[in-house]
Amino acid sequence: MRPWDYVDSEEVPDDDGTIYLMSRGSQYAIHVNGQELMDNRMHGSEDAHADLACESLADLENAKILVGGLGMGFTLAAALRQIGAGGQVTVAELIPAVVRWNREYVGRAAGHPLRDERVNVYVGDVGDLVEVPPTLWSAILLDVDNGPKSLTRPTNSWLYSHRGLRAAHDALIPGGVLGIWSAATDDALTERLLDTGFDVDELMYSEAGRPTHPDFDFHVLWTARKRPSVAPPSVAPQCP
């Protein structure tokens, strides 16, 4: 088998690790701290991540979606396929090199979603846009650090804490959706989502041949819906 070739690398902010882009012909993979994070040939769970969240939204035409973690662009591309011409997707990516790699190397496999006029790119921590949202989001899709058990950057665990989940709940419109991708199960996260007031669905997604957490052979997708506002019952006027 053809060996992997080094393409580029960058230090992970606030961490001792390094993130690498590797290639083998038309195949690209992103590695960090000696582990493969993603590959451009297997992305079914990323597509499902966005599809499940968007299916739960009442208004797709004008949806405002926040994607946390650009990766190789597949979640972003799936969200763009779901929303209408009036929708917008903001993708937050902490590592500038990942944005550059999508523009220069890996974007073709996902259909070059960064070229879509409905996309805004925020180079920084997605937590910034959850904690102080510029607008209420229709959906927040998190694929950060392989899930709640942080692989690259310990500070990412805030997103999955009670405080982070409450911030996400507050940042969503009524009926909005928080979607979370993970390489492994986490019963405690499900409990925290329920404690925060979300209605929660959990899906195990199997993708043969794809690297996962060593204890599992599937990925986990949480779709957590903020309950719609309920208008108070109208009271009929009383006759004098």
Over the chain (240 residues), the average pLDDT of each successive run of 10 is 91 83 94 85 90 93 96 96 96 96 96 98 96 97 79 72 96 97 89 97 75 60 89 50
Which tokens is 120 given?
């805004």
CATH code (residue 76)? 3.40.50.150
Structural domain contains residue 112: yes
pLDDT of res. 213 = 47
Structural domain contains residue 184: yes
* Tally of structural domains, the chain: 1
Structural domain contains residue 35: no
Structural domain contains residue 189: yes
Structural domain contains residue 237: no
Structural domain contains residue 220: yes
Q: What is the dihedral of CA 48, 52, 57, 63, to 10 degrees?
A: -20
Structural domain contains residue 12: no
The pTM is what? 0.89
Which domain covers residue 70, as residue numbers? 42-226
User: How far apart are alpha carbons 50 and 65 in whole angstroms?
Assistant: 10
Structural domain contains residue 169: yes
